[in-house]
């Protein structure tokens, strides 16, 4: 069978990791502008005070802001038929609660969407990708404060009205399910302890100590905001399609012991199914309600929230997939890293240099599970290999390891389509090198286009095609039939 006609092929980026221009065009500070990079094995640090002599990866990123035409031309040359990107909230509302949107910021994205239109690339737009306006964190407390729902919806409405007809596929929040994790509470929900919002103190972003109760309350506010976003998007343009975006963490039981099976089911429920069920099925699943009651963490709901969730399910299911790991009831096991969440090492899998296990069959398994559970169209909107690249003396970059990774995962996705899954698109992370979200490094490269910038932010910014560029170009031209 293979991929259907009209299957969307492209790449994915995020504003805080790609755009740069943190002070240009009236843009305000975002939460990510307060986070440093880190050395291998180190930790990213947060500080409410920005130090001029400190390197912050998001400030310049890879300077897409100055390379819009060049970057989108490269995607078009690759053959991309869609482009997943995010809009920086603080470029539109610099403080998050401004009286009026920033017209210069709106024109910035006008330029991007007009260029996409010229190249016949359909935008898939993430409204908030881990970069809340700093003032909403500092003065409001992020999504823990219910007032932020209305500020977010005002921002979303501005986007729907301004880009009506140019953008038809929207994702309200990136990897919304990561809000249940301590690190995700910072990145996805904008939660910072009140005592750290005003003082000059360096704190590892994974040691902020956000209570579980606060994470769940903020997550509820985001889930309500997402549902209301669906409603507003459909009201403004019935042709709009709004999806969820889940950071999918595929897990297997480490052994066939019943205890490991239950541990795996537990992890899957709380990492993957909780948010997915609310966004697709319109209600909290029974296991989540029981957990809330048992732990005393039930979110405070406003009258009508249940109806909002029930009546505004998403139109499609988008997710990221990079790796898998194992779950076990045993405490003393060898562990590996992963996308915000690690797990027990799977002895049957190899791992990347950053410890993420490579598992293409896990993608097929995941897609089939999602098809069985939700039966709505799916998009794989992030998938790729972070690895260091070597620029040869002649300027060439031979990244056979990246081609191998992408080939095996696209084949697995194609096999899932042959199994009967309704997959409508694939956007590799990321078509052009960008700053790593987890480490802030440039050396953890995902792109098929190399950007001359190092972990300290130095470099010319020159773009160079890697071997994977021509390979992916061939894949797209054949609609995924030629993976050679």
As annotated, the active-site residues are: 175, 382
Sequence-distant (6+) residues with CB within 8 A of 275 are 176, 177, 179, 219, 223, 244, 246
The count of residues in the chain is 484
């Amino acid at each position: 069978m293979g991929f259907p006609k009209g299957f969307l092929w492209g790449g994915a980026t995020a504003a805080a990791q790609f755009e740069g221009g943190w002070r240009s065009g009236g843009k305000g500070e975002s939460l990510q502008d307060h986070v440093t990079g880190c050395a291998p094995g180190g930790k990213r640090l947060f500080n409410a005070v920005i130090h001029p002599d400190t390197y912050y990866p998001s400030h310049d990123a890879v300077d897409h802001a100055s390379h819009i035409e060049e970057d989108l031309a490269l995607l078009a040359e690759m053959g991309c038929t869609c482009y997943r990107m995010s809009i920086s909230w603080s470029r539109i509302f610099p403080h998050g609660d401004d009286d009026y949107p920033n017209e210069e910021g709106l024109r910035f994205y006008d330029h991007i969407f007009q260029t996409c239109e010229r190249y016949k690339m359909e935008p898939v737009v993430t409204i908030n990708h881990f970069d809340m306006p700093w003032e909403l964190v500092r003065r409001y407390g992020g999504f823990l404060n219910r007032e932020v729902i209305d500020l977010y919806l005002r921002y979303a409405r501005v986007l729907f009205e301004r880009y009506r007809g140019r953008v038809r596929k929207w994702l309200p929040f990136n990897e919304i399910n990561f809000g249940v994790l301590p690190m995700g509470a910072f990145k996805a929900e904008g939660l910072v302890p009140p005592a750290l919002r005003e003082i000059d103190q360096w704190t590892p972003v994974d040691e902020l100590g956000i209570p579980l109760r606060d994470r769940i309350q903020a997550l509820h506010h985001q889930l309500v905001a997402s549902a209301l976003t669906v409603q507003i998007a459909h009201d403004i343009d019935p042709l709009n399609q709004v999806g969820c975006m889940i950071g999918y963490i595929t897990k297997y039981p480490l052994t066939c012991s019943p205890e490991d099976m239950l541990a795996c089911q537990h992890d899957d429920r709380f990492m993957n199914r909780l948010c997915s069920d609310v966004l697709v099925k319109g209600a909290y699943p029974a296991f989540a309600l029981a957990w809330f009651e048992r732990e005393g963490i039930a979110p405070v709901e406003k009258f009508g929230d249940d109806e909002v969730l029930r009546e505004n399910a998403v139109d499609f299911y988008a997710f990221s997939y990079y790796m898998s790991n194992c779950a076990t009831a045993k405490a003393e096991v060898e562990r590996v890293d992963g996308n915000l969440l690690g797990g027990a090492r799977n002895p049957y899998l190899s791992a990347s240099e950053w410890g993420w296990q490579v598992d293409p069959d896990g993608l097929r398994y995941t897609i089939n599970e999602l098809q069985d559970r939700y039966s709505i169209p799916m998009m794989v909107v992030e998938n790729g290999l972070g690895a260091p690249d070597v620029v040869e003396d002649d300027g060439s970059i031979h990244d056979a390891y990246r081609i191998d990774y992408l080939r095996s995962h696209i084949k697995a996705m194609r096999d899932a389509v042959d199994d009967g899954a309704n997959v409508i698109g694939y956007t590799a992370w990321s078509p052009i090198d960008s700053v790593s979200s987890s480490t802030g490094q440039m050396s953890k490269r995902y792109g098929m286009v190399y950007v001359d910038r190092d972990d300290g932010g130095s470099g010319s910014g020159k773009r160079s095609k890697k071997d994977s560029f021509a390979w992916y170009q061939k894949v797209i031209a054949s609609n995924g039939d030629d993976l050679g």
